[in-house]
């Protein structure tokens, strides 16, 4: 049984509204055929299937908005027996749309190299193979990789596996109906599933959906945006000296990281080069008044998000620090707000903590620029004829050549540099 899911029809699409079914249960469909019309922020889109078979069941009613990845219909593939899909699921009611999830059956996704046994295990555990790193030849995912990925889930996620068996009478912590049955039921447990076992699968599906969103967005970026790249090495002596002094008088928990100086400098520099604080609206540049710097945050399970700190340029360093910590912790617990996801006007990415010295980012559409910072390292630095050991950071700018050019972009990096030389003004 194959799942027909709400596709990601654009880089920034998180959900879509099913407008109309063009097929009914029992209808034969073939790969490539249009079966539904979906409304997105941009347009009404005809959606095709990637499976040849017979529509078994429509799970979402017209007019319903559902997240990307939600199962819209079940399609019985040619040759597959009629009736309920996988035996473990047979006893369950049809999955409510919001809880159902895409699986490997989604033919639109890239082929993941995974051993059959590992695939089976991943399905049992509700892990998306696309989110697992393979250790075998050619990156093939093996059982142990799935086990590692499962173990890496948060304790909250692992708990239900431990709790499911001994509990003869599940505590009424939550109504089972809220989250619905897991997409791929774990090994049948003696007790009826509470809502808890759903957590891993939901989280992993989010992670998989995110990977797809990244793929779509980055592909679109490289397809549509004529990137150009500038790099500049910035002397951080003043900034670091000031920061050391500043931090000395602060309690440990209130200390600043040099990263907030970088983010603040970017925000202030944008005031001077406002065309970089903008989005590309199909055929023209739309400048944004608010400077909302997005910060790329990598997630432990793989993938990343780049939520913004609103009005970055107007916040004090303390406020920035708090916002940043808050953002990271909420990003990693999947509780970002939609405005944080939709409002960034530029993105800052830093791989410094990984030791990388320079990063040239891919612009996150519809933004028009991304700023990259590398690791802060000590390097010989010549100043007034003298060689000094200075902490330096490599700053880069990837910009959209449709909306700006090297001259203006240089001015931006120069402004960042200048601002960082006067840290007490930040």
Partner 1 sequence: MSTVTLTYREAVRAGLRHALATDDRAFIMGEDVGGYGGAFAVSLGLLEEFGPERIRNTPLSESGFVGAGIGAALAGMRPIVEVMTVNFSMLALDQVVNNAATLRYMSGGQMSVPLVVRMATGGGRQLAAQHAHSLEGWYAHVPGIKSLSPATVEDARGMVLAALEDPDPVFIFEHATLYPLEAELDEEPSAVDIAHAIVRRQGSDVTLVTYGGSLGKCLDAAGELAADGIDAEVIDLRTLRPLDLDTILTSLAKTHRIVIVDEGWKTGGLAGEISAQVMERGFDLLDWPVQRVCSAEVPIPYAKHLEDAALPSAEAVVAVVKEMVI
Q: Which residues are near partner 1 by CB under 8 A?
A: 115-120, 135-136, 142-143
Beta-sheet pairing, 293-295 with 308-309 = antiparallel
**Cβ of residue 104: shortest distance to partner 1, in angstroms?**
12
Q: Based on CB atoms, which residue is closest to partner 1, 137 or 355?
A: 137
Smallest distance, Å, CB 103 to partner 1? 14
Give the residue with the Cβ less far from partner 1, 43 or 86: 86
Q: 378 phi and psi, to 5 degrees?
A: -85, 130
Query: Nearest Cα to 181, choosing from 169, 168, 160, 199?
Result: 199
Nearer to partner 1, 142 or 396 (CB): 142
Q: What residues contact residue 127 under an 8 Å CB cut-off, 6+ apart?
A: 146, 149, 150, 200, 204
Burial classification of residue 344, based on how many CB atoms lie within 10 Å of its CB (0-12 exposed, 13-18 middle, 19 or more buried):
buried
Closest distance of CB 134 from partner 1, Å: 11
Tally of CB atoms within 10 A around 291: 24
**Radius of gyration for the chain, computed over Cα atoms and rounded to the nearest angstrom:** 25
Of residues 142 and 349, the one with the C-beta less far from partner 1: 142
Minimum distance between the CB of residue 261 and partner 1, rounded to whole angstroms?
A: 45
Which position has the token pair 């809220």? 178
We find the least distance from the C-beta atom of residue 135 to partner 1, in angstroms, to be: 7
Alpha-carbon gap, residue 275 to 281, rounded angstroms:
13
Kindly tell me which of 20 and 135 has the beta carbon lying closer to partner 1: 135
CB of 121 to partner 1, least distance (A): 9
Q: How far is Cα of residue 116 from the mean position of the Cα atoms in its chain?
A: 27
Task: Kindly tell me which of 150 and 214 has the beta carbon lying closer to partner 1.
Answer: 150
- Cis preceding linkage at 366, omega within 30: yes
């Amino acid at each position: 049984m194959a799942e027909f899911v709400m596709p990601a029809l654009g880089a920034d699409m998180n959900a879509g509204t099913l407008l109309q079914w063009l097929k009914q249960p029992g209808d034969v469909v073939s790969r490539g055929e249009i079966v539904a019309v979906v409304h997105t922020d941009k347009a009404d889109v005809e959606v095709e299937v990637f499976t040849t078979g017979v529509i078994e069941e429509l799970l979402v009613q017209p007019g319903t908005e559902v997240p990307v990845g939600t199962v819209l219909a079940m399609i019985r593939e040619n040759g597959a027996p009629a009736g309920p899909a996988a035996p473990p699921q047979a006893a369950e009611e049809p999955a409510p749309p919001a809880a159902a999830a895409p699986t490997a059956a989604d033919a639109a996704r890239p082929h993941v190299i995974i051993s059959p046994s590992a695939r089976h295990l991943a399905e049992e555990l509700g892990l998306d193979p696309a989110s697992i790193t393979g250790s075998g030849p050619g990156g093939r995912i093996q059982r142990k990789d799935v086990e590692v990925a499962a173990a890496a889930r948060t304790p909250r996620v692992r708990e239900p596996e431990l709790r499911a068996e001994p509990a003869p009478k599940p505590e009424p912590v939550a109504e089972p109906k809220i989250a619905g049955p897991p997409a791929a039921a774990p090994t049948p447990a003696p007790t009826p599933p509470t809502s808890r076992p759903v957590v891993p699968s939901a989280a992993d599906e989010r992670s998989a959906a995110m990977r797809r969103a990244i793929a779509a967005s980055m592909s679109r970026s490289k397809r549509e945006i004529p990137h150009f790249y500038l790099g500049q090495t910035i002397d951080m002596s003043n900034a670091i000296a000031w920061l050391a002094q500043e931090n000395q008088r602060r309690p440990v928990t209130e200390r600043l990281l040099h990263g907030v100086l970088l983010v603040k400098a970017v925000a202030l520099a944008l005031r001077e080069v406002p065309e970089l604080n903008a989005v590309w609206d199909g055929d023209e540049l739309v400048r944004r008044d608010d400077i909302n710097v997005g910060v790329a945050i990598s997630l432990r399970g793989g993938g990343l998000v780049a939520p913004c700190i609103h009005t970055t340029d107007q916040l004090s360093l303390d406020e920035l620090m708090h916002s940043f910590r808050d953002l990271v912790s909420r990003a990693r617990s999947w509780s970002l707000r939609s405005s944080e996801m939709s409002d960034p006007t530029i993105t800052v990415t830093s791989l410094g903590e990984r030791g990388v010295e320079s990063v040239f980012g891919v612009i996150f559409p519809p933004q028009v620029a991304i700023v990259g910072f590398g690791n802060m390292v000590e390097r010989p630095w010549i100043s007034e004829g003298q060689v000094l050991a200075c902490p330096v950071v490599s700053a880069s700018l990837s910009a959209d050549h449709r909306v700006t050019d090297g001259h203006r972009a240089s001015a931006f990096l120069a402004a960042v540099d200048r601002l960082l030389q006067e840290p007490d003004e930040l």
